[in-house]
Amino acid sequence: MLRGLAQPRVVPVSTEGRVLARIDGSDADTASLEAFLRETAGAVVLAEMALDHAVAREFTAAGLTLSAGALDAERLLLLSAVSTDATVDNSSAASLIERFREARGLGPKRYEALLTRSARLRALVRHADMVTPDEVNAGVTAELSAVVLARIIVTPSYAEAAEARDQILAAGPLRSARFTEVAFRASRDPSAPRGGLFGPVSPTDPGLPMLVRDALTRGAGSLSEVLSIDAGFAVVLVESESPARPMPSGTALEQLRSKVRLRKEREAMDRVAARLQSETKVTPLDDSLRWSWDHRPGR
């Protein structure tokens, strides 16, 4: 509800009916905004709060604590990953992260919560030794085999995926850069913070959806049609194809092992988060919030 047609009123002290904004001098209070906010983004926020609660509970049960620099370490890891995966310098990577935050509504509070959640998940994965030396070795071997590096965008609807594909096609020779931007903004795949980058991966990997495997065989620079997969609708861009390479040594080998270890760590973090989400019961009590929760994508 909007009230007042002339001079703005003094902001009331009580929380009930507190003025949150003014529109042409008229007051928009909490009663006016909360139901709309709950319907629009309630499910997203509630899911994040539920996951934060579950991660914190597991983290505490494991007897873990975050170090003073844990969140800064997560920021640096994200910056480094985006810089490497998007093939840009740190300044451009920071700009991509800002655009990702804007597209997802990750203001100061939600972004801090995301970094905290990520730091706790990383600590849980490391505490449980979920990434084994054998897994890293296998990842290094796979990375040195004949593989494809690709980008993927996953959306809840066909229309969103088709729109993303059209934007990428319109970029012509700059389609890789445009794909990165669109993935940051629109993709719901865990690879979104990396501009949709995934791999190196073998086109014969049985863990990939069949249509994605087929798209990976189309050659470097190829852009798939909109693909229907279990997670929604996908568009795949093949960045490059690499023949088998010899095993490096010394510093080069350690850098490769570190890269693989971090990727495997992130995959393990995603698995832990998915498990905790599935184990956490969420019961919305407010009508607007319940509507949002019942109509959330992928429910």
pLDDT tens digit string along 12-24? Answer: 333 455 777 788 8
* 125 & 48 share domain: yes
In the chain, the DSSP E strands lie at: 2-3, 19-23, 26-29, 147-155, 197-201, 227-229, 232-242
Q: Which of 66-70, 194-198, 205-209, 287-291 has the lowest mean pLDDT?
A: 205-209
**Position 288 in a domain:** no
Indicate whether 246 pLDDT > 70.
yes
Residue 47 has a pLDDT of 92
Residue 105's H or E segment, with its range, is none
Indicate whether 10 pLDDT > 90.
no
d(CA 179, CA 85): 12
Q: Residue 96: which domain range? A: 42-131+251-281
**Position 258 in a domain:** yes
Concatenate the DSSP letters of all residues of 15-67 into one string.
Answer: STT-EEEEETTEEEEHHHHHHHHHHHHHHHHHHHHHHHHHHHHHHHHTT----
Tokens of 85: 């995966």
Residue 291 has a pLDDT of 92
User: How many CB atoms sit inside 10 A of residue 57's CB?
Assistant: 12
271 or 79: which leads in pLDDT: 271
**Position 260 in a domain:** yes
Residues 28/277, Cβ–Cβ less than 8 Å: no
pLDDT category at 299 given cuts 50, 70, 90 is low
d(CA 294, CA 299): 7
Residues 113/48, Cβ–Cβ less than 8 Å: yes
pLDDT tens-place string over residues 45-75: 999 999 999 999 999 999 999 998 999 999 9
* 123 & 159 share domain: no
Residue 229 has a pLDDT of 93
**Position 165 in a domain:** yes
Tokens of 42: 């309630």
pLDDT category at 150 given cuts 50, 70, 90 is very high
Residue 170 has a pLDDT of 93
Residue 213 has a pLDDT of 93
* 262 & 201 share domain: no
Indicate whether 190 pLDDT > 90.
no
Tokens of 105: 């509504």
Structural domain total, the chain: 2
